[in-house]
Amino acid sequence: MSLEKILSIAGKPGLYKMIAQTRGGFIAESLLDGKKMSVGIHHNVSILSEIAIYTLTEEKPLREVFNLIKDKESGSETSVSHKESKDKLEEYFFEILSDYDEDRVYASDIKKIIQWYNLLQKNDLLDFEAEVVTADEEE
């Protein structure tokens, strides 16, 4: 599944999958418990495909960061928990993305990325290869 259908909703735990459009927003299904909810325009929603991580030279799309984690972990869950100490999280993230901008990428961001990756992995939603091919063809 494309990251364009995966959402983070401010104030709500976990990630959500957009399943239908409505007049005033859309219906989203939680990847944590499968519950559906109506999301209106008053919710602060982030689409994962639009999120990027700052590096020293560019902004790296979240999809690419997830693929780096997937390669490092051979498709399994991360070897560190999102509940680890700030130092452990930063050390792990440095192994994945050695040129990330330490001044603009906070431990809370790394925690979220690891938590999101594990949630996507658990729901078997980490196959972004088709998305990568179509993005390359457009250029």
Tell me the DSSP string of 46-74: EEGGG-EEEBSSSEEEHHHHHHHHHHHTT
Conformational region of residue 124, where left means phi above 0, alpha means psi within -120 to 50, and beta covers everything else: left
Of residues 110, 121, 126, 123, the one with CA closest to residue 64: 126
Residue 89 is predicted with a pLDDT of 95
CATH of domain 3-48: 2.30.30
Average pLDDT for the chain: 89
Q: Quick check: 44 pLDDT over 70?
A: yes
Q: Quick check: 90 pLDDT over 70?
A: yes
Q: Quick check: 2 pLDDT over 90?
A: no
In sequence order, what are the residues at sequence separation of 6 or more whose Cβ sits closer than 8 angstroms to the Cβ of residue 67? 128, 132
Q: What is the pLDDT of residues 91-138, one digit of tens each?
A: 999 999 999 999 999 999 999 999 999 999 999 998 865 444 444 444
Amino acid at 86: K
| pLDDT > 70: percent of the chain | 91
Backbone φ, ψ for residue 3 (5° rounding): -70, -10
Name the residue ranges covered by the structural domains of the chain. Answer: 3-48, 52-138
CATH topology of domain 52-138: Arc Repressor Mutant, subunit A (1.10.10)
In 1-139, where does DSSP find H-type helix?
62-72, 86-96, 107-122, 129-138
Give the burial string for 120-130 (b: 16+ CB within 10 Å, else e): bbeeebbebee
- Give the confidence band of 139 by pLDDT, cuts at 50, 70, 90: very low
Q: What is the pLDDT of residues 45-59, one digit of tens each?
A: 999 999 999 999 999
Residue 31 is predicted with a pLDDT of 95
